[in-house]
Chains A and B, each alone.
Chain A
């Protein structure tokens, strides 16, 4: 009763007359979908929309609006939950009173979902005095205060350096760097040094590659190589290292071909080319094209706008104001795409192509000469071998393939490997006359391939021309419903993309999209990106669902902070390094990972950041950290993907013979480069990276899982990689202290020293030598939580 009274009073107290109050409720709860977005074809935000029984003046029970809102209709509206009793009673009262519109229509106001509102630079709260180092801390402190929580103390120097080092470069600091930092303690200088490190782009480029579902192969049965995909990978690394303004980064990726002359900028369109693709399959080109367009639409909407548009492919989005029509308006932007090779150097590219054609032509002759050279030997050996076999088998070989009976076919297949000589067998018995011929062929091949290098190309896309194929919203039972033109999401203001100028070589649709996304006043773009950066630093975004800003996404834990950061980000020229700097300089970031009992109780997910959230290293970080601590890491950057040696049991399960699918890089010093340079196959992940939650690379991944499984333990414990690396370090670090310094970047404590001594003695006895014992000590330390976690 008391509750009802309160509600009633609240309703009465609401401002304005009945129509305005009803309008306000509808605007707040309904217009984001049933405003300009017109979900399910229904708008209720302007006079005239309420006809056809949507609202029957005077009769709520006959009004579909009322029935839906009260759960008596076909669906429950709004889908996010029934309105409260007070609001419902206003709506009912309004309908009973004739459902009049307010004198001054509110219809033109934008929908009210928070993430579609413009970024509003908030006032910085005056909290966290004595603790706060910058505005970020004041926002954090305000929320902590509200929840009676206190920030944790600052982490010690070693912990801080290790944390920043992993967060910015994905690599641990050396023991010497820690010593130096513990000495001078200049945090800001340390930040700047790491932000300037070339390893920064390797770490943050990887985050981006997760988002854009990067792969070096196209997937499916053949899993063919996407030639030069790695040039896009290198482009991403460089873009981060050079602190390319994010708005420019967006434009280069979405429309580099249309907007920029410089091929290094056009390379950005590799974004479209490095996804999954099943071009290799025939007779399904039309389906493949649709799949690619779907991939472009879903990935673009998710990566740049944080919206899960994918749902609207088949029907109006159930929760977000994205009608199916809008989905296809976005897809129409990509409809004219075709694959493109970006010439990194025009003349060199042309020469390369010319050389390639000449080479191929010459190869026909080399091939013919080789076949002619082999034939007499091949026939001779085959005849000799056949002669020793039964007449049935001889007959099976004599019959033409087409005419073999099933039994003959079986006989032929069974014996052909034994009968037909291999090349090696032929070379061995080559006559003295023929030997020089083989040598000459070899030198011709060497001459043809002696200087063979990848061409100066980067993969990308452009448009087929100025005209685009039509795009249709699939209708009931037909893929060709209403035709739509390219345009933007109506919930974000909408707008059509005009036809390009008459002399344009492309449709200029993607450049229009890129400009629209990269506009400073796009409410999502900056928010989505600053939140991603926040998430990668703190393990959890201010929006925990970092690629979902819709109504099913998590609400922001600190909405004002998000807007503060987004606003600053744009003001500071979309600079990611400045954003990192501000975040990492905060007291919030510098807290220790020790949670107070109260924090564990009140905020177990640490959404309020009363301490630092400990995290497990990511898959690539673990591999890179092992290489780094054992001192073997090859820090060479860029270039074609490396295929490291794996054991045959690790290669089990490949979709193709390993000789083609996993052609090991000859130069072994390449095998110990950073993980970002290892071949990214779509049908096969390196087991070590796979078990530690590297994503599959098929769909955009905005946040990796961080699981704990015993397959991880088995891998890190027993793989060749670990033991080989441990052995390398065992040869160099001969004392317990050196081993501790290398692996954990600190001196052993007294009790650890005792433990290690006993361990070494025991293992020396078991394994017969000290080197093996040290290797075991190192293998153990590489498996400890202290090694695997950052805090």
Chain B
């Protein structure tokens, strides 16, 4: 067995080794050691959050002038007939920088000087699953590794007792697990779902009726049998790796519940995240868990706000006001708390926090009260990791329809995130179907790291 194979086989799931990292060392120093990726599931309206468009209010109720809507298509509205709709929320010039953020995010406004907003994101998929795949993997078709999988493939984990790529959702994502899958990379790089409670990871708890002592006996039996088996097969390191994987599973059974046990956090910290308040408790817990995970060396934490089964930003189809008020209320304070807490603990400088969504929403009304999906121009932001905040990159046109200045594709975003982590997106590759595949395929030339950091 060669060295590469050994590392592949002994990747051990929760302590994936940095295979690609060994192969393709990045040219420059990493600005971030880890990522917290806040994904707003369902599609957040850009013109109601980070991309103010006074013209929409001015022409509220009118159709688009001239040929503005030409070539735009979504599932439910006709751009030739639908009417413009001004944002029901005010925008506030927040922080010292005066970065404009809508009043949907009163708490986030306090951190405006940390946020580097990109107002010129664009994609080409206007349905949830393809758009989620696109944001996650660079392809609107499933089957490709997700950003988190590529990251841990490139960098590995700092904590061997915990998964290196953790995912927290409310239970369902419109794309299924492909959004955090490992695609054609080995399964070890797959995102691991974390839930609350005593068994945060699937099958972490002992089976019912099996005490800790009994479980230990059974594990000992497995190890003894495996040692006997290996005695005459010393040259096969995969067998050793599997023995180690059971030892690791055992250690994880003690460490993982400890991570999710937030009782040890101070009341002040819990309050910071809105834990205990009905609206913010759920996402607040996830954000706090995210901090506890990155603190312990977990490389990539992906949080989903909203699900396919319950509250969802996508309820904006027929109720923009209700859906965005509700979802922003659920996430605003927790995200603000996360930024403050990371900063307070000195973790923000080495943690890249990313806020994104699969697409924006139409500046035109859907029905009376809604907005449809809109991939042609929308917003995201990044913070932490030495990013110079309080600024916005790029712009959509007068009505928020199309990204027109500094257009940024998902590949540009991925390339930038990789660079922030000290990885060169053109060098981290995996051979599949005859090609050295990359996260950014053949793209990513619109990387904007320099803008973020200078």
A712 within 8 A of B: yes
Which of A164-172, A275-283, A454-462 forms contacts with chain B?
A275-283
A788 within 8 Å of B by Cβ? yes
What is the 8 Å Cβ interface bit string for chain A, positions 280-298, against chain B (1 contact, 0 not)?
Answer: 0111100000010000000
Q: Tell which of A409, A718, A763, A785 touches B239, judged by Cβ atoms closer than 8 Å.
A: A785
| Chain B residues in 8 Å Cβ range of A595 | 235
Contacts of A206 in B (CB 8 A): none
Instruction: Tell whether, in the assembled complex, residue A759 and residue B217 are in contact, meaning their CB atoms are under 8 Å apart.
Output: yes
**Of B22-30, B198-206, B291-299, B444-452, the one touching chain A:** B198-206
Query: A767 CA to B308 CA in the complex, in Å?
Result: 42
Is B238 close to A, CB under 8 A? Answer: yes
List chain B residues, Cβ under 8 A from A652: 171, 193, 195, 202
CA distance A43 to B226 in the complex (A): 60
With beta carbons under 8 angstroms apart, the residue of B73, B368, B435 that contacts A311 is B435
User: Within 8 Å CB of B249, what residues of A?
Assistant: 710, 713-714, 717
Q: Which residues of B198-221 are within 8 A (CB) of A? A: 199, 201-207, 209-211, 213-214, 217-219, 221
CB distance from B105 to the nearest CB of A (A): 19
Residues of B within 8 A of A188 (CB): none
Residue of A nearest to B204 (CB): A714
Chain A residue numbers with a CB within 8 Å of B206 are 718
With A278-B129, A690-B187 as known contacts, state yes or no: A406 contacts B248, CB within 8 Å: no
Does A221 have its Cβ within 8 Å of any Cβ on chain B? yes
| Residues of chain A within 8 A of B232, CB atoms compared | 594
**Alpha-carbon distance A308/B435, docked complex (angstroms):** 8
Q: Give the B interface residue count (CB, 8 A).
A: 89
| Complexed CA–CA distance, A649 and B308 (Å) | 17
**When the two chains form their complex, are residues A319 and B434 in contact, meaning their CB atoms are under 8 A apart?**
yes
B142 near A276: Cβ-Cβ < 8 Å? yes
Q: Please, what's the 1-or-0 string for A474-486, where 1 marks a CB less than 8 Å from any CB in chain B? A: 0000000000000
Given A550-B434, A553-B434, A653-B171: A785 and B176 interface contact (C-beta under 8 Å): no
Is the CB–CB distance between B229 and A698 below 8 Å?
Answer: no
* Residue numbers in A under 8 Å from B126 (CB-CB): 283-284
Residue of B nearest to A619 (CB): B187
Best-surrounded residue of A604, A691, A705, A714 (most CB of chain B within 10 A): A714
- The residue on B at minimum CB distance from A649 is B202
What total count of A-B pairs have CB within 8 Å?
260
B349 within 8 A of partner (CB): no
Is A47 close to B, CB under 8 A? no
Q: Mark B1-22, 1 if CB is under 8 A from A, else 0.
A: 1100100111111100000000
**Beta-carbon contact of B9 and A220 below 8 Å:** no
Residues of B within 8 A of A66 (CB): none
Question: In the bound complex, do residue B235 and residue A600 qualify as a contact, i.e. CB atoms below 8 Å apart?
Answer: yes
A788 to B1, CA, bound (A): 19
How many residues of chain A get a CB closer than 8 Å to chain B's CBs?
A: 95
In this complex, what residue of A is CB-closest to B227?
A: A785
Q: Is A718 a contact partner of B174 (Cβ separation < 8 A)?
A: no
Closest Cβ of chain A to B433, distance in Å, is 5
Main secondary structure of the interface of B (DSSP, over half): loop
One of B44-52, B178-186, B263-271 contacting the partner = B178-186
Residue contact A221 to B175, C-beta cutoff 8 Å? yes
Asked whether any CB of chain A lies closer than 8 Å to the CB of B322, the reply is yes
Given contact pairs A708-B242, A710-B248, A696 touches B178 in the complex (Cβ within 8 A): yes
| Distance A307 CA – B435 CA, assembled complex (angstroms) | 11
Contacts of A698 on B, CB cut-off 8 Å? 141-143, 178
B181 engages A650 (CB within 8 Å): no
Distance in angstroms from B242 CB to nearest chain A CB is 5
Tell whether, in the assembled complex, residue B207 and residue A723 are in contact, meaning their CB atoms are under 8 Å apart: yes
A783 at interface (Cβ–Cβ under 8 A)?
Answer: yes
Q: Given the complex of chains A and B, what is the CA–CA distance between A682 and B176 in angstroms?
A: 8
Q: With contacts A410-B322, A683-B177, A766-B211 known, is A707 near B74, CB below 8 A? A: no
**Quick one: which of A616, A650, A710, A717 contacts B14, CB cutoff 8 A?**
A710
Of B176, B228, B233, the residue contacting A653 (CB under 8 A) is B176
**Complex-state Cα separation, A234 to B433, whole angstroms:** 28
Alpha-carbon gap, A651 to B252, bound state (A): 22
B236 at the binding interface (Cβ < 8 Å): yes
B406 within 8 A of A: no
Q: Mark A644-659, 1 if CB is under 8 A from B, else 0.
A: 0000011011111100
Q: List CB contacts (< 8 Å) of A717-748 with chain B.
A: 717-720, 722-723
Q: Are A710 and B434 in contact (CB under 8 A)?
A: no
A690 to B193, CA, bound (A): 13
**What 6 A-B pairs have minimum CB-CB distances, sorted nearest first?**
A683-B176, A709-B13, A308-B434, A698-B143, A221-B129, A548-B434
Please report A residues at the B interface, Cβ cutoff 8 Å. Answer: 219-221, 223, 276, 278, 281-284, 291, 302, 307-308, 310-311, 314, 319-320, 402, 406, 409-410, 545, 547-548, 550, 552-553, 593-595, 597, 600, 604-605, 614, 616, 649-650, 652-657, 681-685, 687, 690-693, 696, 698-699, 705-715, 717-720, 722-723, 752, 755, 759, 762-763, 766-767, 772, 776-777, 779-781, 783-786, 788-789
11 A-B pairs (CB sep. < 8 Å): A276-B143, A406-B319, A605-B2, A614-B238, A654-B172, A709-B245, A714-B204, A772-B209, A776-B218, A779-B218, A785-B242
